[in-house]
């Protein structure tokens, strides 16, 4: 890790340790150089990098502020990496397997009749979609709703990130693999209606692995 990266980590640690919320003002450059023991040039490089990924905002003549980080600010860059690197796509698929398949135990134990109807309505949008983009958006909503049923806010946060990632990278899947989306969702809804977590996990695994079709 180079010096600029080390300073970036130090600033992030400072934000975390001081529990600075979005909108909070950071110390001045002079104060930070003293706190971190680095030169102003290195600090400025680190701060510009943090601003580029949306962690802080630098207002000229005013100061530096903590931002409410938006994962979507980096998703486009990640999907670009996916398109260039087969191994990165494999990592993405494996992350979905760990999170979404692992969530089926909780989803099966928490699901209600109202949840089942919600998933059915969402899947109807998948079936009615006229374009790949519409189908991808409805598919993303289905998976978000599904993770929400698990009732774990941390799980939902990870799912939200993977969902945005999934939305951006949708075009990387073989087109034929997207055609069975609604069918897979129906099977998954059926398994959840029966509170059959093992069947739900099996269906979800096969559904996610359709991303490998044609690759």
Please give the chain's pLDDT, 215 residues, in tens: 688 889 999 999 999 899 899 999 999 999 999 988 999 999 999 999 998 878 899 998 899 999 886 655 555 555 555 555 556 667 778 888 888 999 999 999 999 999 999 999 999 998 888 887 788 788 888 988 999 999 888 877 777 666 666 665 565 554 455 567 889 999 999 999 999 999 999 999 998 887 664 44
Q: How many domains does the chain have?
A: 2
Domain boundary among 66, 85, 115: 66
Among 158, 146, 125, which residue's Cα sits nearest to residue 200?
A: 146
Residue 97: φ, ψ to 5°: -60, -45
Residue 88 and residue 184 in one domain: yes
CATH assignment of the domain containing 114: 1.20.120.530
Residue 122 and residue 152 in one domain: yes
Residue 28 and residue 79 in one domain: no
CATH assignment of the domain containing 30: 1.10.10.10
Residue 107 and residue 57 in one domain: no
Which domain range does residue 16 map to? 3-66
């Amino acid at each position: 890790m180079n010096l600029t990266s080390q300073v970036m980590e130090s600033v992030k640690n400072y934000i975390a340790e001081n529990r600075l919320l979005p909108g909070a003002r950071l110390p001045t450059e002079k104060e930070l150089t003293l706190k971190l023991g680095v030169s102003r040039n290195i600090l400025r490089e680190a701060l510009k990098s943090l601003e580029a990924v949306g962690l802080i905002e630098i207002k000229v003549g005013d100061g530096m502020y903590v931002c409410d980080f938006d994962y979507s600010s980096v998703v486009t860059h990640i999907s670009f990496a996916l398109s260039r690197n087969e191994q990165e796509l494999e990592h993405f698929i494996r992350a979905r397997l760990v999170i979404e398949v692992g969530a089926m135990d909780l989803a099966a134990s928490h699901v209600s009749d109202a949840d089942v109807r919600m998933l059915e309505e969402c899947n109807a949008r998948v079936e009615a979609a006229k374009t790949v983009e519409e189908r991808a958006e409805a598919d993303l909503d289905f998976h978000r709703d599904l993770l929400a049923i698990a009732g774990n806010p941390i799980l939902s946060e990870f799912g939200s990130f993977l969902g945005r990632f999934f939305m951006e990278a949708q075009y990387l899947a073989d087109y034929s693999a997207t055609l069975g989306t609604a069918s897979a969702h129906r099977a998954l809804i059926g398994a959840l209606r029966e509170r059959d977590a093992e069947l739900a996990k099996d269906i979800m695994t096969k559904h996610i692995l359709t991303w490998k079709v044609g690759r």
